[in-house]
Amino acid sequence: MLDTTLINQPAKPVIVALDFANAESTLDFVQQLNPNLCQLKIGKELFTATGRYLVEQLVLQGYRVFLDLKYHDIPNTVASACKVAADMGVWMVDMHASGGRRMMEAAAEAVSNCSQPPLLIAVTVLTSMTQAELAETGLNLPIEEVVMRLAELTRQSGLDGVVCSAQEASLLRQQLGEEFLLVTPGIRLHDAIEDDQRRIMAPKAALAAGSSYLVMGRPITRNENPAEVLLQINNGLI
């Protein structure tokens, strides 16, 4: 049964990345949370394992769900996929900005007539990437410049925001204004535990730099008390 009391509550700063292998362990974990604490993200691993079933379960529980499948394909394919995502009731969907203007415009057009269009955002440069790794792909420009160019292209294409590192948030906030969403993974409670992330920042600093939403997986899902960490972030303590 859809919990309609939660639908009009303002979104919280954290989007918890549910990087689990199956529905059972995900639902076990989610029992420790509630939709007033955070939003949820379903990415490639969990979606591949569970498909739309789990997305719809979590939407029915009253959660805003970010479907993080990072679409990157020809315009028609991405637009059609975004429409299906909208039908599932997701709150946010993403694609790679490097798919280009026509791809992003087609996606925006495809969801524009939906009764509840999801927020559409585009990944700039993955937060796991370093300057040297970006250069290996043939892009010999400073990361901030690539992120800025892709963010500007995303805005011009009619999307709601970008995925970037919090390290680029203050620059993008200055250039792109207050309304444009900056969704920032690579958030770490302690500098020493970066895992595979490379462009990281702490929650409080990221929000101060202009992040709209913090995407946090392991620092929450591997914590002994996930709800307590979320409360501390919501109260501006960490």
Ligand X SMILES: O=c1ccn([C@@H]2O[C@H](COP(=O)(O)O)[C@@H](O)[C@H]2O)c(=O)[nH]1
Whole-number Å distance between alpha carbons of 236 and 86:
32
In sequence order, what E strands does the chain have?
Answer: 14-17, 39-42, 65-71, 92-96, 119-123, 161-163, 181-184, 213-216
Q: Which two tokens stand for residue 200?
A: 């990281």
Contact by Cβ (8 Å): 211, 166: yes
Decide if residue 143 touches ligand X (CB under 6 A).
no
Q: Cβ 8 to ligand X, closest distance in Å?
A: 27
Annotated catalytic residue 195: no
The pattern of x and - marking residues 148 through 177 that bind ligand X according to CB under 6 A reads ---------------x--------------
Among 3, 24, 195, 228, binds ligand X (CB under 6 A): 195
Distances (CA, A) of 26 to 16, 64, 91, 115, 131: 11, 15, 19, 29, 34
Interface with ligand X in residues 72-131 (CB under 6 A): 123, 126-127
Is residue 32 within 8 Å of residue 231, measured between CB atoms?
no
Q: Known binder of ligand: residue 75?
A: yes
**Residue 226: CB minimum distance to ligand X, A:** 12
Q: Is 46 in the site for ligand X (CB under 6 A)?
A: no
Instruction: State yes or no: 73 annotated in a binding site.
Output: yes
Tokens 């949820």 found at: 40
* Using rule CB under 6 A, residue 216 touches ligand X: yes
What DSSP line would sit under 125-188, residue for residue?
Answer: S-TT--HHHHHHTT--S-HHHHHHHHHHHHHHTT-SEEE--GGGHHHHHHHH-SSSEEEE--B-
Nearer to ligand X, 109 or 170 (CB): 170
Nearest position to ligand X, beta carbon: 217
Count of residues near ligand X by CB under 6 A = 16
The window from 2-10, 54-62, 95-103, 212-220 that contacts ligand X (CB under 6 A) reads: 212-220
**Amino acid letter, residue 198:** R
Hey, which residues are catalytic here? 68, 70, 73
Chain contacts with ligand X (rule: CB under 6 A):
17, 19, 43, 123, 126-127, 163, 185-186, 195, 197, 215-219
Binding-site residues for substrate: 19, 41, 68-77, 127, 188, 197, 217-218
